[in-house]
């Protein structure tokens, strides 16, 4: 699939800087390994190949196991994830599929009980961030396979 345009040329605009600022704030408030799982899972749901490639590489670079990454799309069927991670993944799925759901009270109460209010709000912003990036990468067909974690770290 051919890229449509290189949106990275425009991420230095005010809009791009705002999204990067939100991403940075989220990274300061959400546990890094959990944030990586959330980014991968939302990207899987959104079928954003570029973001799946990026975030699986980042997760591995930060010590995530291949087994957990491979099982992420079927997390409910595995013993590999903690109760906190399960709550975050379920919240991620519900908010990523917001048009198909109503975010029920039972889910909200379960996730809030597991995470607490502050972490629930931070997680919600994390989900907003990755869904925003997915909505930039996917329609412009960012080419999967080009991202390298070492280069990204050097660019920051």
pLDDT of residue 154: 47
When pLDDT is cut at 50, 70 and 90, the band that residue 155 belongs to is: very low
Domain membership flag for residue 23: no
Q: What is the mean pLDDT of residues 126-132?
A: 97
Domain membership flag for residue 17: no
pLDDT of residue 151: 56
Residues 40-66: tens digit of each pLDDT: 999 999 999 999 999 999 999 999 999
Residues 65-107: tens digit of each pLDDT: 999 999 999 999 999 999 999 999 999 999 999 988 889 999 9
> What is the domain range of residue 61?
33-148
The residue whose two tokens read 């959400």 is: 30
Q: What is the C-alpha separation between 14 and 26, in angstroms, rounded? A: 18
Q: What is the C-alpha separation between 93 and 46, in angstroms, rounded? A: 10
Rg (CA), the chain: 15
Q: In a 3-state reduction of DSSP, which class is residue 148?
A: coil
pLDDT: which is higher, 11 or 113: 113
Give how many domains the chain has, as a whole number. 1
Domain membership flag for residue 4: no
In the chain, % of residues over pLDDT 70? 96
- For the chain, give the mean pLDDT: 91
Q: What tokens appear for 2 in the block?
A: 């051919």
Cα separation values, 89 from 4, 15, 143, Å: 31, 28, 26
Domain membership flag for residue 156: no
Domain membership flag for residue 22: no
Q: Where are the alpha helices (DSSP H) in the chain?
A: 14-29, 32-45, 49-61, 66-71, 83-96, 105-115, 117-137, 149-155
Q: Which residues lie below 8 Å from residue 128, measured CB to CB, with a gap of 6+? A: 22, 95
Domain membership flag for residue 98: yes
Domain membership flag for residue 1: no
- Please, what is the angle between helix 83-96 and helix 32-45, to 10°? 40
Domain membership flag for residue 113: yes
For position 52, which CATH number holds? 1.20.1290.10
């Amino acid at each position: 699939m051919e890229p449509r345009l290189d949106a990275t040329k425009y991420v230095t605009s005010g809009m791009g800087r705002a999204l990067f600022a939100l991403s940075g704030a989220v990274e300061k408030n959400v546990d890094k390994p959990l944030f990586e799982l959330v980014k991968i899972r939302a990207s899987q749901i959104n079928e954003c190949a570029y973001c799946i490639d990026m975030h699986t590489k980042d997760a591995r670079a930060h010590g995530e196991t291949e087994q957990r990454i491979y099982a992420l799309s079927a997390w409910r069927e595995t013993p590999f994830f903690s109760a906190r991670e399960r709550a975050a993944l379920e919240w991620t799925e519900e908010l990523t599929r917001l048009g198909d759901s109503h975010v029920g009270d039972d889910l909200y109460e379960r996730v809030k009980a597991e995470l607490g209010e502050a972490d629930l709000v931070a997680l919600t912003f994390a989900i907003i961030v990755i869904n925003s990036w997915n909505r930039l990468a996917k329609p412009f067909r960012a080419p999967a396979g080009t991202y390298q974690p070492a280069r990204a770290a050097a660019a920051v």
